Structure 1
Amino acid sequence: MRDYGKFYINGQWVDPETPKSLDVINPSTEEVAGKISMGAEADVNKAVAAAKEAFKTWGRTSVEERVAVLERCVEEYKKRYDEFAAAVTEEMGAPDFLAQKAQAAQGLTHLKTALNVLKEFQFEEDKGTTRIVKEPIGVVAMITPWNWPLNQIACKVAPALATGCTMVLKPSEVAPFSGYLWAEVMDAAGVPAGVFNLVNGDGPSVGAPMSSHPDVDMVSFTGSTRAGVEVARNAAPTVKRVQQELGGKSPNIILDDEAFAQSVTGGIAGVMTNTGQSCNAPTRMFVPKARMGEVEEIAKAVVDKFAPGLPDSGAKMGPLVSLTQFEKVQGLINKGIEEGATVAAGGAGKPDGLEKGYFVKPTVFTNATNDMTIAREEIFGPVLTVIGYDDIDQAIEMGNDTPYGLAGYVAGADHDEALRVASRLRAGQINVNNAMPDPNAPFGGYKQSGNGREWGEHAFADFLELKAVLGAGQA
């Protein structure tokens, strides 16, 4: 059993100011997998003070110095790669293949991407007689979620390191193991003391003091829209920058053409990946009303391939992360049934033979309407809502009829038509014809899905301040 009782502050593993522990539950077995210490405001104050002091020197390092540190981070991460995958499986139930090929892989990808961007990034530019200088913003508080733990840590920490910021990280207390291993990698890579700090804990006890701290210059938060609003409220009195990647209810518009079956198949699979626990999952599918019956037949076949199972069983789908999440998803499945949607596959209750663990049936609702609860609320489970449309204009209108705007999807044989539809969707990232993820593409949302962008070169912007030096370019 893992025992992670210390915090990483100022280059040292230290005890919490007030001892308090939390059991971490393995969602596949419902058994205790480890313990972590839970921090408080006093621990946050120590970590922020360390980050503030470290910024005096780290913020003035050269690109070459930061490149060297990131290169060491990449090498140390590689050494621990299998441990990262195992930790993600244990803390949030990811199937072995997903932990290896996607969860752990994303952490390494973001480190490498930030390293490559840093080598070519221009921190100064002359415009006439004025020099535009991009400088690190300072101390960054980072609050990350449990669903893609390494992805979200890496896509914040890597660009922050690259731009010269210092930071305090609070990983999710639900899935904290991979964050602890990340701190060990930072230590082994020789990241200078105080540049990276880790304090475990929950939102009220650690997240709120981080967000409101007067010596924190920026908060980078990923999580629910509700929690994001609270973070912004806590940060407002100190007028710090707040970067948010929040919820989503992403539309997937399927064109009426010969690629229909392939498009629907890909869309269903996209929802089921990571047990539906992805903020950008294509959870609202829009199809021609006349072809709804075809969707129902396809759904049965696709869902069978995503039968849940234990992480080491070869199953493509694991459990939900927690009992809280299980109960939420079950409640929304029942709500869909009550409101009159057709259960084309799956439904309420646990899958046969899996009475232990937070396993759910992959579920597809058809004949839904865009005003149903299952079409409005972010379910964050393997649940797809399929809605019929009369014409493409109606599909686009319904697709945009949501408070969210994180992602959108379009699929069909006519690529040019798909691009025209994509241009009319109001979301931060549009996927056309099941394109592969691009680590250099900006990731973030419109509307209540947040602000700012992560990934690649665009991630650097939020961690930088702009300084105009007038007269610097004069002869």
Structure 2
Amino acid sequence: MQDCSSFYIDGVWQKPQGSEKFTAINPATEMQSGTVALANKQDVDSAVSAANRAFESFSATSRNERLELLEAILVQYDRRTDNLAIAVREEMGAPKTLAEEAHVTSGRLNIATAIDILRKFDFEERVGTALICKEPIGPCALITPWNWPLSQTTLKLGAALAAGCTVVLKPSEHACFSARILAEIFHDAGTPPGVFNMIYGIGEAGAALAEHPDIAMVSFTGSTRAGVDVARRAAFSVKRVTQELGGKSPNIILDDADFETAVIEGTEAVMSNSGQTCVAPTRMLVPAHRMEQVKALIAAVADQFIVDDPAKPDTFLGPVVSRAQWERVQTLIASGIDEGASLVIGGLGRPPHLDKGWFVRPTVFADVEPDMEIARVEIFGPVLSILSYRDEEHAIALANDTNYGLAARVQGSPERSARVARRLRSGFVSVNGAPWSSALPFGGYKQSGNGREGGAMGLAEYLEVKTLAGA
């Protein structure tokens, strides 16, 4: 049983000032896995005050001092990889192999990349007789999600500390086990008191952070609905808000692609992490005359999507994170059936060999029309919608016909794929399977967010710009 009953504030573990708690449930067993204390406004004030006190000294540290701190954090992270993998598996159901090779590894890569970016980053620039200075913006609130808890949290933390900012981290209530270990890692690395603070919470804590006058910036990852609420609350104090929000990512497979490979890999990308990935290519766009071929390809590989106990090494899909998420996914699968899409694999309910846990059958719909709910709503489960297009222009129009713009894929001949990619309204476009890395900027167009994370642009989000004319 995991114990998340204390907050990490000002370099020590502190008991909450309120009594509200959240019962953590293992999504694979439906059994209680821990207890999480929930912060109230007084706890938020305490954490923000610690970050505010520490900001003056930490913002004045040298590049080398911040490099030494991040390198020490990386050493401690490497010592806790086994614990982190188990925590991610227990809190959000990530399969063993995925937890070890993707979740934990991505966190390490993010910290290592922040170190590399900091070594090279130019904090000053001479323009004629003026000096342009880039200075840490102030104490920052980092509000992180449950679906990729280590990746999203370390991406923010690495950039904020590299910039010289102090932070208050509020992880999702569904991802507190891994966050607690991260706090222990920061403590063991010798992070100065007040530089890193962590509270747990739900709506009240997030709202108090967004509204707090001593928070200079909020970095939020989560749903578009919640992101809008954070931005509204932050607007009263005119603080900076960066948001990485929802997505309904298109995957255009052109006629001259390696078609079989593109279809199978695109389907696997949706099913990975049980579909709980904001960049998952959940709208596959294929030439109309190849729709039947696509259906046959997916039906032939359906047995590769093994849904089972996440502790087993050959499990490909674990459960979704909670009962509420399972019910949402079931409602949207039912919508696809009711609206007349062709069910290729999967469907309603748990896989037949599982009688407990929030497991979803890997589901693929073909012959999906662009106005169907499953083609427009972010499902956040292992559900793929396949739409057909007439020609290249139609494919581009369908891809851009969404309120979101977080990510996209294009697969085909190099020249043609690159041409199509330039016309997509998405913050990240993978051409022929090229991956994203934390050295690259990441963020969305439209209702997928504002600002960028990763690379030098991600660090720059935590900086203010000062012009010293004649200096």
Please confirm whether the aligned pair reaches a TM-score higher than 0.5, indicating the same fold.
Answer: yes
Instruction: State the alpha-carbon separation in 2 of the partners of residues 96 and 195 from structure 1.
Output: 32
Amino acid aligned to 1:305? Q
Q: Is residue 200 of structure 1 aligned with residue 177 of structure 2?
A: no
* Contact 1:307/1:361 (<8 A) preserved: no
For 1:268-417, list aligned pairs within 5 A. 268-313=267-312, 314-412=314-412, 414-417=413-416
2:30 match: 30
437-446 or 189-198: bigger deviation: 437-446
TM-score (norm 2): 0.99
For the aligned residues, what is the CA RMSD?
Answer: 0.8
For 1:110-129, list aligned pairs within 5 A. 110-129=110-129
Amino acid aligned to 2:383? V
Instruction: State the alpha-carbon separation in 2 of the partners of residues 36 and 303 from structure 1.
Output: 38
Q: Is residue 217 of structure 1 aligned with residue 216 of structure 2?
A: yes
Instruction: State the alpha-carbon separation in 2 of the partners of residues 299 and 307 from structure 1.
Output: 14
Distance 1:237 1:258, change over 3 A: closer
Q: Is residue 432 of structure 1 aligned with residue 420 of structure 2?
A: no
Note the C-alpha offset of 1:373: 0.2
1:422 match: 421
1:464 match: 463
Instruction: State the alpha-carbon separation in 1 of the partners of residues 290 and 105 from structure 2.
Output: 38
Q: Deviations over 1:275-315 (max 9, x none)?
A: 10000100001101111001111111233211211012221
Instruction: State the alpha-carbon separation in 2 of the partners of residues 32 and 303 from structure 1.
Output: 32
Q: Deviations over 1:313-364 (max 9, x none)?
A: 2211111000000000000000000011000111111101111100011011
2:244 match: 245
Note the C-alpha offset of 1:258: 5.5
Instruction: State the alpha-carbon separation in 1 of the partners of residues 275 and 331 from structure 2.
Output: 15
Note the C-alpha offset of 1:441: 1.2
* Contact 1:303/1:363 (<8 A) preserved: no
For 1:98-109, list aligned pairs within 5 A. 98-109=98-109
Q: Deviations over 1:47-101 (max 9, x none)?
A: 0000000001001110011011001000000000110011000000100000000
For 1:448-463, list aligned pairs within 5 A. 448-463=447-462
1:74 match: 74
Amino acid aligned to 2:469? L
* Contact 2:4/2:176 (<8 A) preserved: no
Instruction: State the alpha-carbon separation in 1 of the partners of residues 453 and 470 from structure 2.
Output: 33
Distance 1:290 1:244, change over 3 A: same
Note the C-alpha offset of 1:27: 0.4
Note the C-alpha offset of 1:262: 1.2
2:265 match: 266
* Contact 2:91/2:175 (<8 A) preserved: yes
TM-score (norm 1): 0.98
Instruction: State the alpha-carbon separation in 1 of the partners of residues 308 and 13 from structure 2.
Output: 37
Amino acid aligned to 1:168? V
Give unpaired runs (5+ residues) of structure 2. Answer: none
Q: Deviations over 1:354-384 (max 9, x none)?
A: 1110001101100011111000000000100
Q: Is residue 55 of structure 1 aligned with residue 65 of structure 2?
A: no
Which secondary structure does the structure 2 equivalent of 1:368 belong to? Answer: coil
1:178 match: 178
257-266 or 182-191: bigger deviation: 257-266
% same residue:
52
302-311 or 180-189: bigger deviation: 302-311
* Contact 2:132/2:467 (<8 A) preserved: yes
* Contact 2:257/2:411 (<8 A) preserved: no
* Contact 2:163/2:463 (<8 A) preserved: yes
For 1:97-176, list aligned pairs within 5 A. 97-176=97-176
Amino acid aligned to 2:196? F
Q: Displaced runs of 4+ in structure 1, greater than 6 A?
A: none
